[in-house]
Amino acid sequence: MTRKTKNTAPALIAYFVRDEKNAPWIKIGAAWEHEDGKGFGIQIDAIPVGFDGRIVLREPKQQEQEAGA
């Protein structure tokens, strides 16, 4: 997949989260803002087997931004 974007760092990180107290957040992908600023392209790298939770999009942590997440 080729992304046409000036900034290669993702705007958001996608996590899988089960609806349980203290459940771990598992990184499953990322999202990049469209050039026109009116939406996002999402790349999902993994979907957990028996998906029974939700996908949460969050801003990258500083170390993820520096690593190019």
Query: Closest by alpha carbon to 55, among 21, 22, 31, 35?
Result: 31
Domain boundaries, given as residue ranges, for the chain: 12-61
The model's pTM: 0.75
Q: Mind listing the pLDDT tens digit for each residue in 29-63?
A: 999 999 999 999 999 999 888 888 899 999 998 76
**Spatial distance between the Cα atoms of 5 and 7, rounded to a whole number of angstroms:** 5
CA angle 48, 61, 37 (to 5 degrees): 85
Contact 34, 41 (CB under 8 A): yes
